[in-house]
Amino acid sequence: MMKTLFLLVDEARERLKQNSHEFNDKCEIVLSILRSSGAVPYRRSTLNGHVHKLLSACIVHAVELGETFRMTSRMHKKFHEMNISTKFVSYLDKLVEEKLLSSNISNEKAGGDLTVSNDIAKFLRT
């Protein structure tokens, strides 16, 4: 069964709380990739660093599960209700633009079924 983005975020939050060194190291690798590609800004890391870390944790968790996940809503209200930063939407859009995520709906915006690129998955498997 395919997970929704919101469920993936909840599970990634739990994984971060467990303080696993291996998981945190993988998150840092992905976060470095996201910053170097420009998908998340490194200059705003003091303000939004926790959001960037959660985004990287979601990607790591999806790769470890070997799953595609579904973005069921782009409505900021839904993200706010789920206690997820509304910046998440724009970061996911940038990941699709940079081809770090692929969407079955668009090459420019995150939506529908999202799959982590093989490039990121390769870094996590080595």
Compute the average pLDDT of residues 13-26: 96
Residue 101 pairs in a beta bridge with 116
Mean pLDDT of the chain: 92
Q: What is the 3-state secondary structure (H, E, C) of 105-119?
A: CCCCCCCEEEEECHH
pLDDT tens, position by position, 30-81: 999 999 999 998 776 666 779 999 999 999 999 999 989 999 999 999 999 9
Q: Which two tokens stand for residue 47?
A: 């303000």
Domain ranges of the chain: 3-125
pLDDT exceeds cutoff 70 at 3: yes
pLDDT value at position 47? 66
Contacts 24+ apart (CB under 8 A), 94-97: 94/38, 94/39, 94/40, 95/34, 95/39
